[in-house]
Amino acid sequence: MTLELFSQYLLAGITYGIIYAIVGIGFNIIYNTTGIINFAQGEFVMLGGMIAISMHQWLPLPLAIVAAVLLVMLIGALVEILFIRWLDRPSVLRMIIITIGISILVREAALHIWGEGVRSLPYFVGNEITTVRILGARVSPQVLWVIGVCTVMVLALSLFFKYTLQGKKMQACAANRVAATLCGISTKNMVTLSFMLSAGIGALAGCVMSPITYTQYDIGTGLAIKGFTVAILGGLGSSMAAVAAGLLLGLIESFSVSVVPLAFQDAISISLLLAILFLRPHGLFGNKDAADLKEF
């Protein structure tokens, strides 16, 4: 394998990997505050791209993206308020089925609004033939945007959780909801906030990745599965581990193309998911005893 090809695979892996990581972090944020796995997580990414594309018809690109992210955050809040908020200690099974239903509805709505076609945002810099040389490979500058924006998001999130009051409140909720309520933290609002946050980062990721991966009404499901894989791989609930896991998955997928036909690429990530679930469900970095005690 030439250096150029290797770098090509490497960068593709990192690009996709960090997107999967963002989706995985979205899962973790909601899981940490509510214990729910939000199967509709991938739809937020799809919506971000789709709405930005539509907005771009009237707004300049940066504004369109901002508008899209805000709108998707609103949708995230709406989903929480309409479907999740007023459930009284639902069982895990019920929550799974509800969020699957939500993801189906969002996807079908997208199908009816935007049709089956493939769309994309324009490249942020240059166009589809502009390339830059990184590590010996020729890639679109968009790749740098994806990696850059997502990295900034991850850093911002960790700062948010560590140093801001809101962030610490959410961490408190995650650790012990009852205790948090007793301290005066409104857990209801924390839940809504977590949905908005997850939706927002998903939407932004959806926007930056749109020029290279394209956006279509049904990309949500695949992303959700990969995001879930990443969240589990890193150990459910840990965001830094999700980043590592995301990059790992992205790289495995990317380099696997050199060994198996493209049609099997999805099967690789799903097989990885199954392997993790069967062999090490607490993830690479998770703690087995802690995971056993969690309620699933």
H-helix or E-strand containing 138?
Answer: strand 137-139
Beta bridge partners of 280: none
Start-to-end C-alpha separation, the chain: 44
3-class secondary structure, 133: strand
Selected range binding other proteins among 70-78, 88-96, 137-145, 241-249, rule: CB under 8 A: 88-96
Does 174 sit near other proteins (CB under 8 A)? no
Of 89, 93, 117, 163, the residue at the interface with other proteins (CB under 8 A) is 93
Query: Which of 51, 52, 123, 40 has the alpha carbon at shortest distance from 84?
Result: 40
Give 90 or 141: the residue with its C-beta nearer to other proteins.
Answer: 90
Residues 206 and 145 sit within 8 Å (Cβ to Cβ): no
Does 101 sit near other proteins (CB under 8 A)? yes
3-class secondary structure, 18: helix
Selected range binding other proteins among 49-57, 176-184, 201-209, 266-274, rule: CB under 8 A: 266-274
In angstroms, give the least distance from the CB of 249 to other proteins. 14
Give 12 or 224: the residue with its C-beta nearer to other proteins.
Answer: 224
Selected range binding other proteins among 69-77, 141-149, 197-205, 275-283, rule: CB under 8 A: 275-283
- What residues between 20 and 49 interact with other proteins by CB under 8 A? 37
Does 108 sit near other proteins (CB under 8 A)? yes
3-class secondary structure, 149: helix
Show the site string, 227-246: x = touches other proteins by CB under 8 A, - = not: -x---x--------------
3-class secondary structure, 119: strand
Does 109 sit near other proteins (CB under 8 A)? yes
Q: Which residue has the tokens 């895990």?
A: 92
Beta bridge partners of 137: 134
Of 100, 144, 147, 284, the residue at the interface with other proteins (CB under 8 A) is 100
Does 183 sit near other proteins (CB under 8 A)? no
Selected range binding other proteins among 100-108, 141-149, 175-183, 245-253, rule: CB under 8 A: 100-108
Query: Which of 80, 294, 62 has the alpha carbon at shortest distance from 198?
Result: 80
Rounded Cα distance, 224 and 180, in Å: 29
Q: Which residue has the tokens 């459930």?
A: 87
Q: Which DSSP category does 278 fall into?
A: H
AA identity, residue 59 = L
The number of beta carbons lying within 10 Å of the beta carbon of residue 189 is 12
Of 5, 63, 152, 270, the residue at the interface with other proteins (CB under 8 A) is 270
Query: Which of 24, 35, 26 has the alpha carbon at shortest distance from 87?
Result: 35
Selected range binding other proteins among 44-52, 96-104, 127-135, 174-182, rule: CB under 8 A: 96-104
Does 266 sit near other proteins (CB under 8 A)? yes
Q: Which residues bind other proteins (CB under 8 A)?
A: 37, 83, 86-87, 90-94, 96-98, 100-105, 107-109, 111-112, 221, 225, 228, 232, 261, 263-264, 266-267, 270-271, 273-274, 277-278, 281, 289, 295-296
